[in-house]
Amino acid sequence: MKIEKSKLLYPGIVASMLIWGLSWPSGKILTAYASPLHIALSRFGCTFLSSLVLLSILKIPLKINQKGVLYLIVASLLMTLYSLFFFTGIQHGMPGAGGVLVTTMTPIFTYIVSIILAKRKPTQTETIGLLLGIIASSFLLNIWTNYDEILQSGNIYFLLSCITWTFLSRITARSQQYGSPMAFSLWMYLVCSLFLSGFANFPELFKLYQQADHRFWVNLIFNAVINTGMATTFYFFATSKLGAARTSSFIYIVPFAAAFFSWLIIDEKLVWNTIVGGTLGIVAVWVLNRKEKN
């Protein structure tokens, strides 16, 4: 049975979104140990190695078409920038508002870009779904009182993360044209590591590995193997099957998951507007994935 025809595709995306939600408090913990560059490099290195083992066990061909090399380089650059923006934003900005900004605005940006590139008007269902997404974002951001805080300090990096991910999704949606989407992701993680290696301070990085405690390693392995290696790779696989716009709509699940796990793990306050916005975001997922009536 092909995975795209099985009943595992949509549950797999939902599980990936829950893991992404958990990655926000986990990433916050990691930023206390090292710079965003070294955290990102460590994560990509671990992700590449774990993904290589997984693909070898599954006997998935690692080769990609030569025509896909340019797309691979561009995707790797965008993924590298996204990771740097992500960790820098968590370290210096407002993780709550910033996390919500990325995960709620990305699907809207992606759908808008998709519609513009297709040179068409949104359908009635898409319009309703996007409006629900905008309303959900307003509640989650508490925009009527905190609008001036969203772009303050390091939170501008969260907005840059959102824009970067939008274009990254468009590229990974084409990955199946050049080989296995999972193989494409594997080599992307390697190229990301190479990009960051040129700027890394390796003596400082090795010192980190020697002195780090179990809390660091648990969160690094979670972010590298489970979050990036499994959840993100599955997301990229899903974009190649469902398209960037439809798959990105599931990102509306992440803000609520991130708020819940942040409350559970690092004791962040769970406020009423997060609950309302998260619920509306999940409804938006359902609306955007409904089939149009003939």
Determine the Cα–Cα distance for residues 224 and 76; give it in Å rounded to an integer: 16
Determine the Cα–Cα distance for residues 93 and 260; give it in Å rounded to an integer: 19
Residue 90 domain-assigned (yes or no): yes
What DSSP line would sit under 136-167, residue for residue? HHHHHHTHHHHTTTTTSGGGHHHHHHHHHHHH
Please tell me the predicted confidence (pLDDT) of residue 149: 61
Residue 294 domain-assigned (yes or no): no
| Amino acid identity for residue 246 in this structure | R
10 Å Cβ neighbour count for 173? 24
Give me the residues paired with residue 64 across strands.
179
Determine the Cα–Cα distance for residues 94 and 35; give it in Å rounded to an integer: 17
- Mean pLDDT (10-residue bins), the chain, 294 residues: 57 90 88 93 93 86 87 94 90 68 75 81 84 81 66 71 86 78 89 95 94 94 88 80 74 79 80 78 75 48
Please tell me the predicted confidence (pLDDT) of residue 280: 83
Residue 78 domain-assigned (yes or no): yes
Please tell me the predicted confidence (pLDDT) of residue 3: 43
Residue 293 domain-assigned (yes or no): no
Picking from 220, 162, 179, the residue whose alpha carbon sits closest to that of residue 40 is 220
Please tell me the predicted confidence (pLDDT) of residue 1: 39
How many domains, the chain?
Answer: 1
CB distance 89 to 98 below 8 Å? yes
Domain encompassing residue 220: 3-288
Please tell me the predicted confidence (pLDDT) of residue 150: 58
